[in-house]
Amino acid sequence: MGRNSDTFDNVRHWAYKAIREYWRPDYGSSWEYAVLARCETIKMGYDTPMQYSEVKSIARSIAKWTMRHFTLAKFSESQARKGVKGGKCSKGGGRLFCVLLVYH
Domain ranges of the chain: 1-70, 71-104
Q: Please tell me the predicted confidence (pLDDT) of residue 41.
A: 95
Tens digits of residue pLDDT in 26-76: 888 999 999 999 999 999 999 998 999 999 999 999 999 999 897 766 666
Say whether pLDDT at 104 is over 50: no
Q: Please tell me the predicted confidence (pLDDT) of residue 72.
A: 67
- Please indicate, yes or no, whether the overall pTM of this predicted structure exceeds 0.85: no
Tell me the DSSP string of the chain: --HHHHHHHHHHHHHHHHGGGG-STT-HHHHHHHHHHHHHHHHTTSSSPPPHHHHHHHHHHHHHHHHHHS-HHHHHHHHHHHHHHHHHHHTSSHHHHHHHHHT-
Q: Which CATH architecture has domain 1-70?
A: Orthogonal Bundle (1.10)
Q: Please tell me the predicted confidence (pLDDT) of residue 76.
A: 62
Q: Please tell me the predicted confidence (pLDDT) of residue 86.
A: 66
Mean pLDDT over the full length of the chain: 82
